[in-house]
Structure 1
Amino acid sequence: MTQRVLILASANNGLTQRAALAVRRSGRTARISIVHCESDIRRAVESADFDIVVCPYLTTKIPADIYRRWTCVILHPGPVGDRGPHSLDWAISEREPLWGVTALTAAEEMDAGPIWSTRTFGLPWRRKSAVYNTVVADAAIECLVEALDKADRAVSPTPQAETPQPIVHARRRPAMRRRDREVRWSDDTATILSLIHASDGSPGAPATIAGLPMLVYDAHHGRDDALAPPGTLLGRRDDGIEIACGDGSIWVGRLRSSGGADPSCKGPAAQALAMAGFPVQALPVDERKSHEIRYRREGEIGFLTIDFYNGAMGSGQCRRLLAAFAYAAAQDTKVVVLENDGAYFANGIDLSAVELSDGPEGEAWRNLLAINNVCRAILTCSTQVTIAAVTGSAGAGGVMLALTADLVVAADRVVFNPHYQTIGLSGSEFHTYTLPRRVGGDTAQRLLHDCQAIDAVGAADLGLVDAVAPSAQFGSWLTELARESAHPSRWAAIMAAKQSRLSDLNAIERAELRRMARDIFRDENEFRRKRQAFVLRDLRHPSTAGL
């Protein structure tokens, strides 16, 4: 009999989607129920149409009568022996070199139940949202499938006292409080970055910037010399600002005002400060390139690497990416690879920057035109074979950006959300040309209207991507693919195919823009409400308890 799995989660985030897809990929059935309180959990189990409950991301405690009746597997983002609601936050803030994920049975004491499976891994020193959606999620999926296999074979979990503890200092920890996360600019940069990384993307690290109470996200190392008193704003670059610390500086990419009565969304740092009343334009401009877009060359192959916060591509990022792609396409290489560095490939326009702008509708339109320009440049590139190498999840316009390349490949951890309707848009990025070209008209319409996530293997089955490779070996596999594509005969065949399939992009874009104009300016599909609900979602789910 097929094992039936009920997934209880506090949000339908990337890990929840990966969990459901992995369960179904293993031959089981899966039903997702989003729950926010005990009553929600009780309603979710009323039908009893399941054999086992799994909780990849749950901030609400399961009632005792429910976990005593059904096996409930919790995915905890910590190694054996670690307990508490903010495990990953503590590990990142304390710069743990090795960490883990454990699948355990729900019990009265949090994270104290018998253990089904566990994994350990090197913990990169990066922002929590990036760590969570890569190495942590990878380990969690492995633990989940192993736990389900054991339960299906009636293998009992092992009591914690009898389970080896690979990280000997793992222990019970309290919730991380606001004062534990608070940034003191007089501290050294490593300490400050650790706090900000640990609090990103939720709830943010509290700090005072230019006398304003802010929550800080998306921080990167700046200079090594202390150039001004700690807390001094040194300059701006693109959307980021540079702040002096005790022994140097850091760059901050995202901020959220925490001083007002009304909730505010996080957004580009310079924009958030300007909205709070600080004269950002008075800061000196730093002309050095940011970390968001990088280019390197390996023989006949150019690699254009993007790292946009949560995959959001604002108008400025799109303009800079367009310029970077034009530079890459002008080199005497054979292949340009567009790849991501981090947990996201791209998710389309930057809804937070749109929401924080003086005129959201106008900014959404400008952002849309800017991302279209990038897509057009890739589609019409006549000098290079283009490869989109997707190693992080992609949604909406980010999926369609990838589809403009000649070849689209993905790592096996990737989740695609090739649709727009959940945000109230009909879509652009030439998707009415690229999506049917790959999957056929009927499947394209189904993907756009069903609004379902698909995993990388499923995307390959549909023809959405050309190939899938294991995440752990993806870099070397991609390099070999790029070299094969640069071989004269293969290169000529791809370039000839590209020329034969080009359509009237101007007509395609005009048709898409007509529909998008109604979405944005007439609000025919509730873009305004859905956008605001999306950008304020962190305020509704501030906890990182569980995964």
Structure 2
Amino acid sequence: MAPAPLRILLLCHSFNSLSQRLFCELRARGHEVSVELDIADRVTEEAVELFRPALVIAPFLKRLIQPSVWQRQPCLIVHPGPVGDRGPAALDWAVRESDPAWGVTVLQANEAFDAGPVWAHAGFAMRAAAKGSLYRREVAEAAVDAVLRAVASFAAGGSASAAPPPASTWRGPLPQAERCIDWSKDTTATVLAKIRSADGQPGVQDELFGQPCRVFDAHAATPDALDTSPPGALIGRRDGAVLRRTVDGGVWIGQASHAAPCGGKAFKLPCDLAFGAAFEALPAMNVPLERASGEWGEIRYQEFGAPGARVGCLSFEFYNGAMSTAQCRRLLAAWREATARDTRVLLIAGGADFFSNGIHLNCIEAASYREDDSAADESMRNIEAMDDLAEAVIRTTDRLTIALLRGNAGAGGAFLALAADEVWAHQGVVLNPHYKNMGNLYGSEYWTYLLPRRLGDEGAAALMAGRLPLGAPQALSIGLIDRCMDVAAAGFETLAITHATALAAAHNVEQRIAAKASRRGADETARPLADYRLHELSRMHRNFYGFDPSFHVARYHFVHKLPMAWTPRHLARHRDGMNATSAR
């Protein structure tokens, strides 16, 4: 007989991607899950008193759980390092030192960091990738495996390992001195390891265009992109990134945190926005959509299959899934180019870590510091560009279109995926198909047309109001997506292309294309897309320009990474029924 489901409190610094994934996985197994953000000791104590969980799980913390909690309640810590590793920057060190293998350990909280008894652990092979990418993929999969085994053991009356702990290794924060780039000596591999170890936060202190900054988002350049400039020279630009020479090659640097364009409050921006005219003075090094796999660029096109049954795949890799006005316009141009090709199926595949998270909040924030611009104006430009792209996908009626979710999707990015005829994902994807968490934003991207088609009016309203993450299996079960493949992220794209190639060669593909065109025509007659767009944008205009500043406040807090003052009520279900004063 299986153990009864547990009441589990997730305690986290923020409700990040790993916390959301565990939230979905635990709920899918019948556990009652509530969330409390780690704001203050007394708030955590109150949450435990209110919810009375059987177990507290901490997927992402930045400080110790207090004895008043862990001495009273079993608390499991998810540490992104193998057994014996200790410290707050485990993954930073692993990436910086190019460790071949790493792991995740679930251990019981005690008086010291990462030193309690071990409940479960899981390992994985390291990939040459940024810290954040490893965290969202390999670490997340290992954490799900280890946490579910630990929870199952706890529910069955088990206990942590009685074996003596191995000799532990404490490593504190990785200092900038360990990441500092010496452009006159460091190889491309070394530069990539340093920047990737700091990706997300804190970045690597460096200098671009003679100005101090922190750099992020690095990619190796191919020899074809290089010239004879000395190491450290800036030699070209592409897709908002700058190309810098190393001693044995070059790296594309996509993002920089630089105070000058941001009113003295530095935050990450694409290099073209961060450095303006100096960036534009570099020679453009644009590349075609179809190119060698090693040649970096944000957007790429490939084709597969036999003549007459071809499959096109338009993929885009935008940093952290954010889509600026310029990126939306580039992707729209690429979509139009792709639809001019003779294919029966056209795939639109977002990034490996994120399909898309919608409008680019950092670029919008930057507009608020420009004399001739405003955050409201850039918000409207950005959402209009997103709508243009979504509309182009919806109106593609001469072939089947499929959105491939290689990574998570949120807000407008989730609805961009729904603009395709079908949405396919792998089992590790998490979707956040709603907008209100960003300052009560109404949303656009034709969601008022796309979502009720799948869930009905009541289902759409409930999903938008719930504001909770959905795992891909749950999204499939309610009809939000069309296929959830039981495969790891690494194998998803290959399997999806195999299925798409079979679909393009199917005997009834022409009938399916004709039927979809007929449905689109009937929908247009019943209510034109322009009407949905006008309604949504009128509400968005109110969000951007109206008297309620909630969106602008929420965006500012998000961009500048200000801590939450309380846990949102839709997450802290243990606070249902409390008045607003006590909840805070």
TM-score range, shorter chain: over 0.9
Counting only pairs closer than 5 Å after superposition, residues 304-383 of structure 1 correspond to structure 2 as 304-357=314-367, 358=370, 359=373, 360-383=375-398
Displacement, 1:223? 4.6
Query: Aligned partner of 2:427: which letter?
Result: D
**Which residue does the alignment assign to 1:284?**
283
Distance 2:455 2:413 in 1: 17
User: Per-residue deviation at 1:258?
Assistant: 5.4
The answer to whether the 8 A contact 1:113-1:160 is kept is no
Aligned to 2:575: none
- The partner residue of 1:518 within 542, 548, 560 is 542
- Which residue number corresponds to residue 173 of structure 2? 175
Q: Normalization by structure 1: what TM-score?
A: 0.92
1:294 matched to 2:312: no
Deviation at 1:232, TM superposition (A): 2.6
Tell me by how many angstroms 1:526 deviates: 2.1
The equivalent of 1:248 in structure 2 is 249
The 1:291–1:102 alpha-carbon spacing in structure 2 relative to 1, beyond 3 Å, is same
**Per the alignment, in what secondary structure is the counterpart of residue 312 of structure 2?**
strand
Matches within 5 A, 1:103-252: 103-159=106-162, 161=164, 171-186=169-184, 187-224=186-223, 227-252=228-253
Residues 127 and 258 of structure 1: is their aligned pair in 2 closer, same or farther, counting only changes over 3 Å? farther
Deviation at 1:69, TM superposition (A): 2.2
Q: Could you tell me how far 1:540 is from its partner in structure 2?
A: 4.9
C-alpha distance after superposition, 1:497-522 (max 9, x if no partner): 32232221122212222222222222
Separation in 1 of the partners of 2:510 and 2:263?
A: 61
Note if contact 1:230-1:246 (Cα within 8 Å) is conserved in structure 2.
yes
1:449 aligns with 2:501: no
Q: Which amino acid aligns with 1:219?
A: A
Q: Distance in 2 between matches of 1:161 and 1:234?
A: 55
Distance 1:511 1:136 in 2: 42
Distance 1:57 1:246 in 2: 38
Structure 2 residue identity aligned to 1:115: V
Distance 1:312 1:125 in 2: 23
Secondary structure of 1:423 counterpart: coil
Please tell me whether residue 479 in structure 1 is matched to residue 503 in structure 2: no
The structure-2 alpha-carbon separation of the partners of 1:131 and 1:386, relative to structure 1 and needing over 3 Å to count, comes to same
**Equivalent residue, structure 1, for 2:516:** 498
Secondary structure, aligned partner of 1:185: coil
Show the counterpart of 1:544: none
- Partner SS, residue 247 of structure 2: coil
Following TM superposition, by how much is the alpha carbon of 1:94 offset from its aligned partner in structure 2, in angstroms?
1.1
Q: 1:336 to 1:319 in 2, by over 3 A?
A: same
- The answer on whether the counterparts of 1:419 and 1:451 sit within 8 Å (CA) in structure 2 is yes
Secondary structure, in 3 states, of the residue corresponding to 1:440? helix
Structure 1 residues 319 and 523 mapped into 2: Cα distance closer, same or farther (>3 Å)? farther
State the AA in 2 paired with 1:285.
A
Contact 2:117 2:165 in 1 (8 A): no
Q: Is the 8 A contact 1:37 1:60 kept in 2?
A: no
Taking structure 2 as the reference length, the TM-score comes to 0.87
Whole-angstrom distance in 2 between the partners of 1:384 and 1:226: 42
**Are 2:102 and 1:99 aligned?**
yes
Pick one of 250, 268, 271 that aligns with 1:269.
271
Mapped to 2, the partners of 1:303 and 1:211 lie a distance apart of 40
- 1:508 aligned partner: 532
Whole-angstrom distance in 2 between the partners of 1:160 and 1:376: 59
Query: Is 1:536 aligned with 2:538?
Result: no
Deviations 1:442-464 (A, max 9, x none): 11112222211111111112111
The match for 2:293 is: none
1:468 matches 2:468: no
State how far apart, in whole Å, the 1-side matches of 2:69 and 2:555 are: 36
Are 2:402 and 2:424, in contact at CA under 8 Å, matched by a contact in 1? yes
**Structure-2 residue corresponding to 1:391:** 406
Report if the CA contact (8 A) 2:357-2:410 is conserved.
yes
Q: Contact (CA 8 Å) 1:311, 1:346: kept in 2 or not?
A: yes
Whichever residue aligns with residue 545 of structure 2, its letter is: F
Segments of 5+ residues of structure 1 without an aligned counterpart are 542-547
Query: Is 1:417 the counterpart of 2:432 in the alignment?
Result: yes
**Cα distance change, pair 308–93 in 1 and its aligned pair in 2 (3 A):** same
1:181: Cα distance to partner? Answer: 2.6
Distance across 2 between alignment mates of 1:378 and 1:120: 40
- Give 1:2's aligned amino acid: P
Match of 1:87 among 66, 85, 90: 90
Q: Please report how far the alpha carbon of residue 523 of structure 1 lies from its aligned counterpart in structure 2 after TM superposition.
A: 5.4
Aligned match for 2:419, one of 384, 387, 404: 404
Shift of 1:320: 1.6
Q: 1:203 to 1:258 in 2, by over 3 A?
A: farther
Q: For 1:196-248, what per-residue CA distance to the aligned partner results, in whole angstroms no more than 9, with x for missing partners?
A: 11111111111122222211111111255573343332222231111222333
Give the match for residue 437 of structure 1: 453
Query: Aligned partners of 1:24 and 1:355: how far apart in 2?
Result: 35
Give distance in 2, aligned partners of 1:490 and 1:4: 49
The 10-residue stretch of structure 1 (520-529 or 375-384) with the greater mean CA deviation from structure 2? 520-529
Q: For residues 62 and 194 of structure 1, what CA distance do their matches in structure 2 show? A: 32
Check whether the contact 2:86–2:170 (CA below 8 A) recurs between aligned residues: yes
Q: Is the 8 A contact 1:200 1:218 kept in 2?
A: yes
Question: 1:9-65 CA deviation, whole Å, 9 max, x = no partner?
Answer: 000111111111111111111111001343433333233511111110011101234
Contact persistence 1:304–1:325 (CA under 8 A): yes
SS of corresponding position for 1:53 = strand
> CA–CA distance in 1 between the matches of 2:347 and 2:107?
41
